[in-house]
Chains A and B, each alone.
Chain A
Amino acid sequence: MEVNMTRVRPYGDTLDDGYMQLSFTLPVQCNAEARKAAELLAEKMGLEDVKVVYSHNIADIFSFFVVYGRCIHSVDMTAIEIPKVDADFMSYQEINGFIEKHIARRIVVVAACTGTDAHTVGIDAIINMKGYRGEYGLERYPWFTTYNLGSQVPNEDLLAKAIQVNADAILVSQVVTQRNIHIDNLTHLAELVEAEGIRDKVLLIMGGPRISHELAIELGYDAGFGPGTLPSHVGSFIAQALARTMRNSGEQARGVYP
């Protein structure tokens, strides 16, 4: 099977047939007119040969549809340039060995779910000892000292803790993203760090299901980790970025705070 990377199309039954399935809800009663509306909508979205293969009323005035059809579009994957976290991902042992060799002291990380966000599942997966998907969290790493401040932490408190413990990296988790509230929250933290004049002295890292590295860079963070991130990914990035900073500045990163 040879895929033309300049014209990638959905795979239904055979290569490049363009067939795809989508599901959605319309705020109308489920009847023949509604099924036609679903079909027309799919056509407007660029599907041909549209079949409404399933429809069901899910409340008095809502209907659910599954639609199958051939997408007329293709994408040129060779033209896609996505900024990625710049790190060679290492294992638990490799990370600890790297820190011992290149940094020679424990790396201090302060982490929190900030603002109104109470969903700690992400930050806990990365930080807490038991970790996630068979991997230890950073708390378990002998060469990391971690502080997980929990949820609904004001940005001021997070940064205060980071300054108190001479943190090398600040990890912010944002799960609740309704009305893009996470953007305001993340922006405020970055502004606060810059206003304190310590932006060059600390790694700012964000994570969450709707976080991308691209967004992180735009908001002035050093890295952004999205869904599927493992503790070792974050650990690798922090260790390597810190080693780079220390190399560039020619001095121990420790002691940047009073």
Chain B
Amino acid sequence: MNQSVSSAKIAATPSRDDTKNPIDMVVFSGGNNIAVVGLAKNSGKTVALNAIIKRAQAVGMRIGVASSGRDGEKLDAVTRLPKPRIEVQRGALVATAEKLAMSASASLEPLIKTKHVTVLGRLIIYRVNSPGAIEIASGNKASVVKSVTELMRHLGAELIVIDGAAGRRFSSAPSLADATILSTGAVVAPTLEGVVSRTAQVVEILTSPQWSDPHRQRFDPESLTNQDVVIISSGAMGNHVEELKVKSVLVSAAEIIRQLPGPGSTIILGGALPGNLMRDLAANRKARGSTVVVGDATRILATHRDLSLFKSRGGRIRVFHKIHLQAITTCPVAPDGRMFDAETLLDAVAKAIKHIPVVDVVAGKTRNLPGYHETTGDETEGGGVA
């Protein structure tokens, strides 16, 4: 069985038809910071990252590269399997730790020493003086990633790509990234159906719609902390706004529900949206038809199942800042040697998520591009929703 799997390599015929390339859509989107996040480790983030870097550098864009995890290392920290390297051209900016810079094959010139010290040494913004491979780790906290991307921006980076860490998605927060690419692949689940449904679930959460209530103007989401909970209810006397100070929604879910005047309320959370709150709201009559609003979709840490339960009781999830998910990449290979047919996976994901372009970077195949109706070999309608 293994024999046939390993010989079934993908026919890599990169089609460089630029008008049909989601990578181009990302590079030329006008967005400054692009986050590449994944459903898991080994889901193809680095391959997507490299495709963006390559394309942007080919058209002479000054790029900046950051990683919220660690990237470009030779071997995976868990599987010990070889990983793709990150290649940069002259003029690119990279934010990485001192010790990793020493092992780069590219020649790097330090520009700014940041105040952030990681276990791999101080974070430094380098300029690439001769092309080569680099290893990147730019801090694993949102606050640090934000600060290094801002520094690269000051140094003239036109397009900054932020690689995600394993399955962490915090770097796709609109406070860090203008646009996001999501990588999924065979590693996510043992079956094709599993990969597709888990991907669709994550996409549903990541693309949670914007809160467009007139009350929106009253709040500055940046000033809300995990201690802030606001309940808006409409009654005979008009809207009532109740601002609560809690320890955290994780601690005070019961208290928040007690404060709900009745069905149809809006609950604004300054911190995370955890699964237990979803379950508690779903179980409470007073919470029927309520809307929960969070800063952005990276705050939603409830499982899809808990969210569905809440939604089935008329609940709605809204965000202050919407994540712009510009493309999904598929990787048919898992590190344990399992492999799906590249096009079958691509088609299945594209069919399940019709509104977002899907690309297999290695095979050079794309689906769901706006304005195109592709023949995918089955009965799908192309799914080209602009």
Name A's B-contacting residues (CB within 8 A).
81, 83-86, 154, 156, 159-160, 163-164, 180, 183-184, 187-188, 190-192, 194-200, 212-215, 217-221, 257-258
CA–CA, A214 to B170, complex, Å?
A: 19
- For the complex formed, measure the closest distance between the CB of B270 and the CB atoms of chain A, giving whole angstroms: 7
Tell me if B134 is interfacial: C-beta within 8 Å of chain A.
no
Chain A residues near B131 (CB, 8 Å)? none
Give me 6 A-to-B residue pairs in the complex whose CB atoms sit less than 8 angstroms apart, sorted by A's number.
Answer: A84-B119, A163-B251, A184-B167, A214-B77, A218-B69, A219-B69
Question: Which of chain B's residues has its CB closest to A192's CB?
Answer: B301
CA–CA, A187 to B68, complex, Å?
A: 13
Chain A interface: which of B5-13, B85-93, B272-280, B352-360? Answer: B272-280
Chain B residues near A220 (CB, 8 Å)? 68-69, 140-141, 165, 168, 170
Question: Which of chain B's residues has its CB closest to A188's CB?
Answer: B301
Name B's A-contacting residues (CB within 8 A).
40-41, 68-70, 77-78, 99, 103, 118-120, 137, 140-143, 165-170, 225-227, 245, 247-248, 250-251, 270-276, 298-301
Chain A residues near B251 (CB, 8 Å)? 160, 163-164
CA–CA, A219 to B40, complex, Å?
A: 11
Contact of A163 with B250 in the complex, beta carbons under 8 Å? yes
Instruction: Identify which of B103, B141, B167, B275 contacts A187 (C-beta below 8 A).
Output: B167
CA–CA, A217 to B298, complex, Å?
A: 20
Sample of 20 further A-B pairs with CB below 8 A, known A85-B119, A187-B166: A81-B99, A154-B276, A156-B276, A184-B167, A191-B301, A192-B301, A194-B298, A195-B272, A196-B250, A196-B271, A199-B141, A200-B143, A214-B77, A217-B119, A219-B166, A219-B168, A220-B141, A221-B140, A257-B247, A258-B247
Contact of B78 with A180 in the complex, beta carbons under 8 Å? yes
Question: Which of chain B's residues has its CB closest to A219's CB?
Answer: B166
Contact of A195 with B299 in the complex, beta carbons under 8 Å? yes
Q: A156-B276, A196-B248, A196-B250 are in contact. Are A213 and B170 (CB under 8 A)?
A: no
Question: Which of chain B's residues has its CB closest to A200's CB?
Answer: B143
Instruction: Identify which of A81, A83, A85, A154 contacts B103 (C-beta below 8 A).
Output: A81
CA–CA, A84 to B119, complex, Å?
A: 7
- For the complex formed, measure the closest distance between the CB of A11 and the CB atoms of chain B, giving whole angstroms: 23
CA–CA, A198 to B271, complex, Å?
A: 9
Contact of A215 with B250 in the complex, beta carbons under 8 Å? no
Chain A residues near B141 (CB, 8 Å)? 194, 199-200, 220
CA–CA, A197 to B273, complex, Å?
A: 12
Question: Which of chain B's residues has its CB closest to A158's CB?
Answer: B250
Interface of A is mostly: helix
Chain A residues near B272 (CB, 8 Å)? 192, 195-196
Instruction: Identify which of B119, B170, B227 contacts A86 (C-beta below 8 A).
Output: B119
Instruction: Identify which of B140, B143, B226 contacts A218 (C-beta below 8 A).
Output: B140
Contact of B274 with A183 in the complex, beta carbons under 8 Å? no
- For the complex formed, measure the closest distance between the CB of B116 and the CB atoms of chain A, giving whole angstroms: 10
- For the complex formed, measure the closest distance between the CB of B308 and the CB atoms of chain A, giving whole angstroms: 18
Q: A83-B119, A192-B272, A196-B272 are in contact. Are A217 and B70 (CB under 8 A)?
A: yes
- For the complex formed, measure the closest distance between the CB of B265 and the CB atoms of chain A, giving whole angstroms: 22
Question: Which of chain B's residues has its CB closest to A223's CB?
Answer: B119
Contact of A195 with B70 in the complex, beta carbons under 8 Å? no
CA–CA, A55 to B118, complex, Å?
A: 49
CA–CA, A159 to B271, complex, Å?
A: 13
- For the complex formed, measure the closest distance between the CB of B345 and the CB atoms of chain A, giving whole angstroms: 20
Contact of A197 with B226 in the complex, beta carbons under 8 Å? yes
Chain A residues near B40 (CB, 8 Å)? 183-184
CA–CA, A164 to B226, complex, Å?
A: 13
CA–CA, A86 to B300, complex, Å?
A: 32
8 closest residue pairs by CB, A with B: A195-B272, A220-B140, A160-B250, A196-B271, A195-B299, A196-B226, A214-B77, A163-B248
- For the complex formed, measure the closest distance between the CB of B76 and the CB atoms of chain A, giving whole angstroms: 9
CA–CA, A166 to B23, complex, Å?
A: 45
CA–CA, A84 to B169, complex, Å?
A: 25
Instruction: Identify which of A180, A183, A187, A217 contacts B137 (C-beta below 8 A).
Output: A217
Contact of A156 with B70 in the complex, beta carbons under 8 Å? no
Contact of B119 with A183 in the complex, beta carbons under 8 Å? no
Contact of B170 with A191 in the complex, beta carbons under 8 Å? yes
Q: A183-B41, A187-B168, A219-B166 are in contact. Are A199 and B142 (CB under 8 A)?
A: yes
- For the complex formed, measure the closest distance between the CB of A67 and the CB atoms of chain B, giving whole angstroms: 21
Chain B residues near A192 (CB, 8 Å)? 272, 274, 301
Question: Which of chain A's residues has its CB closest to B144's CB?
Answer: A200
- For the complex formed, measure the closest distance between the CB of B134 and the CB atoms of chain A, giving whole angstroms: 15
Chain B residues near A84 (CB, 8 Å)? 119
Q: A195-B272, A196-B248, A258-B247 are in contact. Are A215 and B119 (CB under 8 A)?
A: no
Question: Which of chain A's residues has its CB closest to B70's CB?
Answer: A218
- For the complex formed, measure the closest distance between the CB of A53 and the CB atoms of chain B, giving whole angstroms: 27
CA–CA, A64 to B300, complex, Å?
A: 49
Instruction: Identify which of A85, A164, A183, A212 contacts B167 (C-beta below 8 A).
Output: A183
Chain A residues near B276 (CB, 8 Å)? 154, 156
Chain A residues near B270 (CB, 8 Å)? 197
CA–CA, A176 to B375, complex, Å?
A: 45
Q: A218-B77, A219-B140 are in contact. Are A156 and B167 (CB under 8 A)?
A: no
Instruction: Identify which of B103, B227, B299, B300 contacts A258 (C-beta below 8 A).
Output: B227
Contact of B247 with A163 in the complex, beta carbons under 8 Å? yes
Contact of A83 with B274 in the complex, beta carbons under 8 Å? no
Contact of A218 with B166 in the complex, beta carbons under 8 Å? yes
CA–CA, A200 to B143, complex, Å?
A: 8
CA–CA, A164 to B167, complex, Å?
A: 28
Instruction: Identify which of B118, B227, B271 contacts A217 (C-beta below 8 A).
Output: B118
Q: A81-B99, A218-B140 are in contact. Are A183 and B168 (CB under 8 A)?
A: no
Chain B residues near A257 (CB, 8 Å)? 247
Chain A residues near B170 (CB, 8 Å)? 190-191, 194-195, 220
